Amino acid sequence: MTPADANIFAERSCAPKTAKALAQDAEREVIHLLSIKRQLMQEIAGWIAENHLKQAEVATRLNISRPRISDVVNQKTSKFTIDAPVTMLSKLGKPVTITVG
């Protein structure tokens, strides 16, 4: 079992310099993905506030649990993949457009 703070690339016998570079690339990617999830969740929270709705009302509209809405509002990004808030936004009439590049 690899400890949480270990460099998994070093554990897989990569050269130290390569392992460090791969770990840094992975960390940058994670930070970027978290930023995307936060932005999507902020859009949902903003929509809820703009429409003066309670979390329970939104949960009913999205056919999900109220605690799940709470997780969105409180930006618990680790509990979501990117597709979950994208789907929620679409159901709320706020389709997401993705631009690559």
We report the CATH number of the domain holding residue 77 as: 1.10.260.40
Residue-level pLDDT, tens digit, the chain, 101 residues: 667 777 777 766 777 787 778 888 888 888 999 999 999 999 999 999 999 999 999 999 999 999 999 999 999 999 999 999 999 999 999 999 988 87
* Helix 83-91 vs helix 16-50: crossing angle, to nearest 10: 20
For residue 96, tell me if it sits in a domain: no
Q: How far, in Å, CA of 58 to CA of 44, rounded?
A: 10
For residue 72, tell me if it sits in a domain: yes
Question: Which long-range CB contacts under 8 A does 17-21 form with residues at least 24 apart?
Answer: none
Range(s) of the domain holding residue 66: 12-91
For residue 56, tell me if it sits in a domain: yes
Residue type at position 61: R
Q: Which two tokens stand for residue 43?
A: 């859009």
The number of folded domains in the chain is 1
pLDDT for 54 equals 97
pLDDT for 65 equals 97
For residue 3, tell me if it sits in a domain: no
pLDDT for 1 equals 67
End-to-end CA distance of the chain: 37
